A and B are shown apart, each in its own frame.
Chain A
Amino acid sequence: MGFIKGIINAVTDPKIFFVLAVVGLFVVLWKREKIASNVFGYGVLGALLAFFVFGTFDPNFRLIVTKPDNVPIVGLIFLLVFFIWYSIREAVFNDRRIDAGQGPIEKDESDRVWVWPDLVYTELISLILCSVVLIVWSILLKAPLEQPANPANTPNPSKAPWYFLGLQEMLVYFDPWLAGVVLPGLIIAGLIAIPYIDKNPKGNGYFTFKERKAEISIFLFGFAVLWVSLIVLGTFLRGPNWNFFGPFEFWDIHKLEALTNVNLSEYVWVRLLRTGMPSFWLIRDLPGILLVLFYVFALPVILSKNLFRRYYEKLGPPRYYVSVFLFLSMMSLPLKMLSRWLFNLKYVVNIGEYFFNI
């Protein structure tokens, strides 16, 4: 028992957890034919249920998972897994039909249905079921009314609401300006921009994967891996002082982690060139600045010539550059995380004089 818990505690470490999430998404999309089966669906559900049931016997696990604030995230895990499985399954079925020459299933269904009963009756039933869920939830999980707020007593950990936990996790790797303002802004701007940069007319009103491979993969990566898995990480696996704690680990406020992160400028000047750090910020951070400029300005152009050539041709320069910029911004997060884990990299650009770090 303890052995299994130890393994799970080790596996949920952010480094492994995140890499597993990325690899997992890739495998899910690659082996989607197998995943689309009912057996697999029930198997995953069973595995999740077994994990939670097994975990409930551990007091640490129970404390985290049954906290009224965290119960919805447990629901989120189940719902997300279900909907991804379901949509991939439908996509696989539709792809098979499209390959066989038939249209997708949705085409066969009549394009008009009766308001009553098909729309309104189902709405009524949904209303009733929602009410039942809300009533039962409110009886079983009380809203946490804690003691009067005490300015002399800061809670540890101080966690953001669940919808910002992904951003709070980003704060570990990025400067607050980027993690809290720039990247969230780009997320919103990117979501708004999707209709304008997505020129793929296929997949409109029916499930498919084959016809929208890139779009679905990018979106699932950004949503399921970068957004939701970081929320799950922040809810269950981050404890006092924002240290990592496995699901069966006791939240010890005195746990210490060695923080030995190094800026890029230090890597270049001190470790590589063995000179002191230049005092003038421009010189000091020149390597980082050049790297960032390369990443933002040069890399899109380079990519347009080889890896993304088809997209460049399909979308045209304006759409392409917007898309690639958004894509590279999104990828900066996993790249930064990897650099942190592999090289202990702290900041690529570190200009403390003007409070600007990347």
Chain B
Amino acid sequence: MAEKKGVGHAYNIDFLNVVFAASSIFLLLSTVWMVCDDYDRDWKNTQRRFARLQYDVTRAQYRQARDKVDRPKLQQLQAQLKSAEQNVKANQSKVDGLQKKLDEIEIRLDRANRDYQYMKATYDHDRYDFESARAAGVQGTAKKGENVADEAKQLKDLDLNVQKITAERNAAQNDLAQYTGAVGTIQKQLEDLRAEQLRLRKVAEAQAPSATKDYFLNAPLLDFLAPTIKINQLILPDVVDDVNFKTVPKMDRCTTCHLGIDKAGFEKYPQPFTTHPNLDAYLGSKSPHPIDRIGCTVCHDGMGQSVSFKDASHTPTGEKQKETWEKKYGWEEPHEWDYPMLPTKMTDASCQKCHKQEIYIPKAEALNVAYSTYERAGCYACHKTRGFDTTTMRKPGPILTKIESKLTKDWVKTWVRNPRAVKQTTWMPRIWYNSNSSSPQDAVRNEVEINAAVNYLFANSEKWEPPISNPKPGDAKSGEKIVKSIGCQGCHVVGEGSREQAGPHRTFGQPLENIGTKTTYEWVFNWVRDPKHYNPNTYMPNLRLTDAQAADVATYLMTLKAAGGDQAKATYTQKDVDDTLLDYYTALMPAASAKATVAKLDDNQKQLDLVRRSSIGTAVSAATRSRGSRRRSRSGRICLKRAASLSRGSTSASSQTSRTRRSSAGSIASCTTRASSTKAACCSHSTSCGCRISICQTSKWSDC
């Protein structure tokens, strides 16, 4: 650039000219590129497709309407029309004459009317002039007054004239109508017959593609005039989107692409043009949810303001659709909008936004099932949920306050270890042996805690006097007949299979396929005879059976036996118990004090304290309160044996079905030393975690 210069020039002009030309061409190209980039939008192509589709659909509807017209009637009317027209033609000269007369009368009428009106205007002016002058007290208004009176008279004459000519015209019209009137009425009847067809034809003509529409009205830079392709939006001023620092009225632009959503007739076409299902309930103008009042995102969520497929946070219905969308649209998980669209089968969830007070919302079946499943499964008992008030609702699990009189420790341990292995359709969750606590080391600790929990439950169990102890057995066959006829199967089933097969409604009462292995004949008899004696809060009704019937039913039920459940996966020693307890204590206090505290407890106390972590020294022994039936002392002995065997460090693993009695070999004395009859304040659970037992549902622990 420093070489070839003209005089007084800093640059070589020829070179600059080339640069200027090249850069101008680049500018032109980039501007054209910019205009294309701006005007090429996906939704525009969608709207063009829909315009063609709509035209085709309208044409099809038109052809349908045309074919539906009553052919014989149509032909009859057309014949009538023809004969009427022929009549007119036959009397054509008369008709023409009458028409001429009518025209001439019309002209006269027109003139007379005009005369009258001009006269009226003049009269009004003069009258006002006169009256205002008179009112103002101006002298010499008499002449004016006379003038006005004259004009009034003229006006009246002219009016009469107009009326006369009008009467003439009406007469002439009537004469003419005698010939031509018939044609008019028949034509109107024809139109009525083909009304729908004609309407659809008009609509189709309006929707027909045309060069003006496609290339002129929607052209770049000209589309501010009257575009046929534009964004459609519904604004709901009193329904808002929360964008963290502001609430913004909902602006739903979904109908920019979903053009057929509120039009009947597009049910069979693919998205985005499909008609909304059930237009009578949703989006129709007569429905309770008209589209201009409710929009789209109130029910479906998603980003209503967007006009592109990806930004709108469409959610696929499943894996297959996800893959299709990823391939077709480059869909990816939306992360720019906090309220992504609900999958279509979950749309019911939005009903509660407005239908808040209704427990059962008609037509929102998925939501209703969800509510009832939530309540039946008892999720609210652990997870605080608005709308489920735990102070008034009963807990979802059965009572454990009298567990000693119904179950054995072995059964409860097996149950607690893995409830679903005993009863496939139970709601109770598994607390130990989860996917992150099943290693061999975890197994030892799991067994320690399971045993401790069960021992605690039994140690705190109340006594229960069955109304009839030692009932006589009955006849299983008649029992079966009663069970299958009296209504037991309204709530209970035997052998339900998996949870998915049973469904949420079926398992209200517990499944009974292994009731025989679970508890004793005495318990079942007394329960069937009078459920509320054992649990005053139970849902099970009193079926008003006689004792004999109850005996039969109980005998039949006791024949339903099934083994099941997981065995203990580890054995443990007293040291394991100590370590676990120490683990809990060191979370609360320095290691040295924890060791000292633990060392002060004896083995059985350690067991119970593992669950309770209460202050040292208080213990409960259900056994020592015993003063009654053989059964209780039996269970008490089991408790002692269990504790004794533990303190000797022998295994606790056992089968869950039998209540084995091992001969005790001492240490009974050590057990009876804990013979304080005061109950432990079992709710001295500190709320600092560690003990997972605290979520068990005994009613005593309701303060936890």
A117 interface residue (CB < 8 Å to B): yes
CB distance from A120 to the nearest CB of B (A): 11
Contact A135 B23 (CB under 8 A): no
Cβ–Cβ contact B335 & A118, under 8 A: no
Judge whether B389 is part of the interface by a CB distance below 8 angstroms. no
Residue of chain B at shortest CB distance from A110:
B8
Inter-chain contacts of A280 with B (CB < 8 A): none
Contact status B244-A117, CB under 8 Å:
no
A147 cross-chain contacts in B, Cβ below 8 A: 335-338
A146 touches which of B16, B27, B37, B336 (Cβ 8 Å): B336
Indicate whether A112 reaches chain B with its CB closer than 8 angstroms: yes
> Which residue of the partner chain, among A113, A132, A151, contacts B10 with CB atoms under 8 Å?
A113
Q: Which of A123-131, A204-212, A266-274 contacts B (4 or more CB under 8 A)?
A: A123-131
Question: What A residues does B244 contact at CB under 8 A?
Answer: 148-151
Q: Are A114 and B16 in contact (CB under 8 A)?
A: no
Closest to A148 in B: B243
Interchain CB contact under 8 A, A121 and B20: yes
Contact residues of B between 5 and 40, Cβ < 8 Å to A: 8-11, 13, 16, 19-20, 23-24, 26-27, 30-31, 33-34, 37
Please tell me if the beta carbons of B336 and A149 are within 8 angstroms of each other in the complex: no
B30 and A136 within 8 A (CB): yes
- Chain B contacts for A136, CB-based, 8 A: 30, 33
Quick check: A132 and B8 within 8 Å, CB to CB?
no
Interface check B215, CB cutoff 8 A: no
Q: Which residues of A contact B336 (CB under 8 A)?
A: 146-147
- Interface assignment of B138: CB less than 8 Å from any CB of chain A: no
Complex Cα distance, B7 from A112, in Å, reads: 11
Q: A139 interface residue, CB < 8 Å from B?
A: yes
Contact A129 B10 (CB under 8 A): no
- Which chain B residues border A189 with CB–CB below 8 Å? none
* Contact partners of B337 in chain A: CB under 8 A: 147-148
Assess the B26–A124 pair: CB atoms within 8 A: no
Interface size class of B (residues with CB under 8 A): 20 to 34
A261 CB–B CB distance under 8 Å = no
Q: Is B2 an interface residue (CB 8 A)?
A: yes
Contact residues in B for A84 (Cβ distance below 8 Å): none
A residues 94-153 near B (Cβ < 8 Å) are 105, 109-110, 112-114, 117-118, 121-122, 124-125, 128-129, 131-132, 135-136, 138-139, 146-151
Q: Which chain A residues lie closer than 8 Å to B34 at the CB level?
A: 135, 138-139
A110 contact set on B, CB distance < 8 A: 8, 10
Residue interface bits A332-351, CB-to-B below 8 A is 1, else 0: 00000000000000000000
Residue B245 CB within 8 A of the other chain: yes
Chain B residue with minimal CB distance to A151? B244
Contact A105 B2 (CB under 8 A): yes
Q: Do most interface residues of chain A lie in helix, strand or loop, or is the interface mixed?
A: helix
Q: Shortest distance in angstroms between A166's beta carbon and chain B's nearest beta carbon?
A: 31
- Look across to chain B and name the residue whose beta carbon is closest to the beta carbon of A121: B16
Contact of A132 (CB < 8 Å), options: B9, B19, B30, B243 = B30
Residue pair B33, A139 in contact (C-beta under 8 Å):
yes
Q: Are B10 and A118 touching (Cβ within 8 A)?
A: yes
Instruction: For residue B516, give the distance in angstroms from its CB to the closest CB of chain A.
Output: 55
Tell me the smallest distance from the CB of A127 to a CB of chain B, in Å: 9
Interface contact A125-B10, CB-CB below 8 Å: no
Given contacts A121-B16, A132-B30, contact A148 B338 (CB under 8 A): yes
A150 touches B338 (CB 8 A): yes
**Complex Cα gap A340–B33 (Å):** 52
Given contact pairs A135-B34, A136-B30, A149-B244, A113 touches B23 in the complex (Cβ within 8 A): no
Q: Which of A114, A131, A135 contacts B9 (CB 8 A)?
A: A114
> What B residues does A135 contact at CB under 8 A?
27, 30-31, 33-34
Q: How far is the CA of A114 from the CA of B183 in the complex (A)?
A: 88
* Neighbour of B27 across the interface among A105, A109, A132, CB < 8 A: A132
Q: What separation, in Å, do the CA atoms of A128 and B244 have in the docked complex? A: 43
Q: Are B8 and A117 in contact (CB under 8 A)?
A: no
- How far is B36's CA from A135's CA once the two chains are assembled, in angstroms? 12
Q: Closest chain A residue to B16 by CB distance?
A: A121
Is the pair A132, B23 in contact by a Cβ cutoff of 8 Å? yes
A139 in contact with B27 given A117-B13, A118-B11, A121-B16 (CB within 8 Å): no
B19 lies within 8 A of A125 (CB): yes
| Least CB distance, A147 to chain B, in whole angstroms | 4
Nearest-neighbor residue (CB-CB) of A152 within chain B = B244
CA distance A118 to B9 in the complex (A): 7
| Bound form: Cα–Cα A136–B31 in Å | 9
Query: Within the complex, what minimum Cβ distance (angstroms) separates B36 from chain A?
Result: 9
Determine whether the beta carbon of B23 is less than 8 Å from that of A129. yes
Q: Which residues of A contact B16 (CB under 8 A)?
A: 117, 121-122, 125
| Cβ of A155 to closest chain B Cβ, rounded Å | 13
B20 touches A128 (CB 8 A): yes
| Residue in chain A with minimal CB distance to B336 | A147
Complex contacts, A150 vs chain B, CB 8 Å: 244, 338
B-contact bits for A253-266, CB 8 A (1 contact / 0 none): 00000000000000
The one of B8, B26, B27, B30 that contacts A113, using a Cβ cutoff of 8 Å: B8
Residues on A with C-beta less than 8 A from B13 are 117, 121
Bound together, the chains give a CA A122 to CA B16 distance in angstroms of: 8
CB of B245 within 8 A of CB of A149, answer yes
Q: How far is the CA of A240 from the CA of B580 in the complex (A)?
A: 40
Q: What separation, in Å, do the CA atoms of A95 and B13 have in the docked complex? A: 29
Which residue in chain B gives the minimum CB-CB distance to A112? B8
Q: Which residues in A have their C-beta under 8 angstroms from that of B27?
A: 128, 131-132, 135
B31 partner residues in chain A, CB cutoff 8 A? 135
CA distance A350 to B573 in the complex (A): 57
Chain B, range 536-578, C-beta contacts under 8 Å to A: none
Task: For the complex, give the distance between the alpha carbons of A121 and B19 in Å.
Answer: 11
- A134 nearest CB neighbor, chain B only: B30
Q: A114-B8, A118-B11, A122-B11 are in contact. Are A128 and B37 (CB under 8 A)?
A: no
Min distance, Cβ B221 to any Cβ of chain A, angstroms: 16
Q: How far is the CB of B649 from chain A (nearest CB, A)?
A: 44
Q: Is the CB of A128 within 8 A of B338?
A: no
B2 shortest CB reach to chain A, Å: 7
CB distance from B401 to the nearest CB of A (A): 43
Residues in chain B near residue A148, CB distance under 8 A: 243-245, 337-338
Complex contacts, A129 vs chain B, CB 8 Å: 23, 26
With both chains docked as a complex, state the minimum distance between the C-beta of A53 and any C-beta of chain B, in angstroms: 24
Query: Nearest Cβ distance between residue A140 and chain B, in whole angstroms?
Result: 9
Neighbouring A residues of B33 by C-beta, 8 Å: 135-136, 139
Question: How many angstroms from the CA of A136 to the CA of B2 in the assembled complex?
Answer: 31
Complex Cα gap A117–B10 (Å): 9
| Complex CA–CA separation, A150 to B337 (angstroms) | 11
Q: Give the nearest-CB partner of A137 in chain B.
A: B30
CB-based closest 9 A-B pairs: A148-B243, A147-B336, A135-B30, A128-B23, A118-B10, A113-B10, A132-B26, A132-B30, A139-B37
Given A128-B26, A135-B34, 14 other A-B residues pairs in contact with their CB atoms under 8 A: A109-B2, A110-B10, A113-B10, A121-B16, A125-B20, A128-B24, A128-B27, A131-B27, A132-B26, A135-B30, A139-B33, A147-B338, A148-B245, A148-B337
A-B contact pairs, 27 of them (CB 8 A): A110-B8, A110-B10, A112-B8, A113-B9, A117-B11, A117-B13, A118-B9, A122-B16, A125-B20, A128-B20, A128-B24, A128-B26, A128-B27, A132-B23, A132-B27, A135-B30, A136-B30, A136-B33, A138-B34, A139-B30, A139-B34, A147-B336, A147-B337, A148-B243, A148-B244, A149-B243, A150-B244
